[in-house]
Each structure stands twice: as C-alpha cells, then as structure tokens.
Amino acid sequence: MGYLEVTNLSKNIGQNEILKNINLNLEKGTIYGFFGRNGSGKTMLFRALCGLIKPTSGTITINNKVLHRDISFPESIGVIIESPGFWDHYTGFENLKVLSSIKNIIGDEDIRKSIKRVGLDPDDRRIYKKYSLGMKQRLAIAQAIMERPDIIILDEPTNSLDENGVQLVREILLEEKKRGALILIASHNKDDIDILSDVKYKVDDGAVIQS
C-alpha cells in the first residue's frame, strides 16, 4: 500500500461528474506529473487530495488514515493551487509567519531559510502587493516547502517565473524529492513534467490514465 492511495474516487458537482473513478497508488520520494488540457480535472483532483473538497464516492488514504474519516486534511502537506493568495499589506516574511503560526511547528529561522531558498530576501520590507508576479510565485513555493511537508502538491509551479526561476524551482523539487517528499505537480509546461516526473499521468475529462 502506497503512502497516498486513492480508491475509486469520484466527485460530482451538480449534474457534472468532474472526477471519474480515479485510482492512484503514490509513494514518498517520487515526483508524479499530471498533465491535461484546461478544465480536465487536474486542479479538482488536487483539491480532493488536499481535503478541500469531499469525494462523492471513493476514498483517499494518507499514511493509513482515511481522509474525511480519520483526518479532515492531510497532516503534513504543502500546497499551491492556482494563483497565489497572500495578504497584500504584509511583507513576504510576515505572510509566511502568519501561515506558519497556524501549525506552529517551525520558527522564524526556518521561514527565512525557505524565503532565501527561493531566491527572495527575507528582510525585504516591500509589501506583498508590490511584488512582481514572479516574486509572488516564488513566495508561494516557499510557503509550500517551509514546513518540510511529507506531501507537496503544486498546480502550475513555474507559472510567471523567468528561466532562472524555473531552473531554481526544478532544483528545489529535486531536493525535496531526495528528502523523501511525495510530490505531485500539474503543469502546462511539458518540459516541467518531462524533466521532473518519475511517473506521468494524463488527466482527461475527469479520468486519470498513466502515461
């Protein structure tokens, strides 16, 4: 049994079946790449894995605990789904400090290290609102990795990044994989999927097929 197991997962919204009988068996220390056209169900699948939406049928088991029965969200997860949303009038450091205070398992130094790791300055006094799109995306990556989560789920992680940024994020993800994290990425960037993924899945009309 994998660290993260999805069994017969389906999700209906209204009359639409947006996830169709999905089965996955995912191991730690591996990068899984998901690709597919817009609206194919990648983001919805990621939301289901994060515990943000409840399946209509089927189960998601993480580390032998069933989501929405034993736990209401994965205990150790870092996530970027769609556009990063932080508090506009806080600095990058302050934003991560607020989020880290929810679980309270890391200190200021860990936050500073994460910010430096993505190429930002933790002492930058600019507020988030003044950040460029690339800086916002880097901060979102820092947010996802700062608590050294067991599972990292990234929807379009290289969005808005320049070439150096893309390279840096790829290096970070490979380091996180080496640390033992289970990583799921969805990207329009075929290179991201090809270069990073150990296993690739195609998502089409709510169904997932190993590629």
Partner 1 sequence: MDIMYVSIWIYIGVNNVRNLLYNEINKKIIIYGSVIAILLGLYNVYLTNLYGINSLEGLFFVEYGFVDIRAIKYVTPFLKWVLPQMVLMWILKEFVAGELDKNGVYIFTRTNRRGKWVIDKTYDLFKFVILFYFIMFLITYIIGIVVGYKMLYIYKGIELILTMFILTVLLNYEYILIINILSLKIDVIYSFLIALFVDIFSLLLSSFIYEYFKMKIYLLKLFPVSHGILAWHSMNNMYNNLYMSEFSIKNFSIIDSISYLILSCFIIVIYGIYVFQHKDII
Question: Residues interacting with partner 1, by CB under 8 A?
Answer: 13, 44, 47, 50-54, 72-74, 77-82, 85-89, 99, 102-103, 143
Q: How far is the CB of 208 from partner 1 (least distance, A)?
A: 19
Report d(CA 157, CA 136) in Å as an integer: 11
> Would you tell me how many other CB atoms lie within 10 Å of the CB of residue 52?
12
Q: Which is nearer to partner 1, 95 or 197 (CB)?
A: 95
SS (H, E, C) 120-182: CCCCCCCEHHHCCHHHHHHHHHHHHHCCCCCEEEEECCCCCCCHHHHHHHHHHHHHHHHHCCE
Q: Which is nearer to partner 1, 49 or 161 (CB)?
A: 49
Q: Which is nearer to partner 1, 31 or 49 (CB)?
A: 49
Q: How far is the CB of 106 from partner 1 (least distance, A)?
A: 12
Q: How far is the CB of 39 from partner 1 (least distance, A)?
A: 13
Cα dihedral 95→98→100→102 (10° resolution): -150
Q: Which is nearer to partner 1, 78 or 157 (CB)?
A: 78
Q: How far is the CB of 74 from partner 1 (least distance, A)?
A: 7
Q: Which is nearer to partner 1, 17 or 200 (CB)?
A: 17
Q: How far is the CB of 25 from partner 1 (least distance, A)?
A: 22
- 46, 81 contact by CB (below 8 A): yes
The sheet carrying 65-66 orders its strands as 16-26, 4-13, 57-62, 65-66
Report d(CA 29, CA 71) in Å as an integer: 22
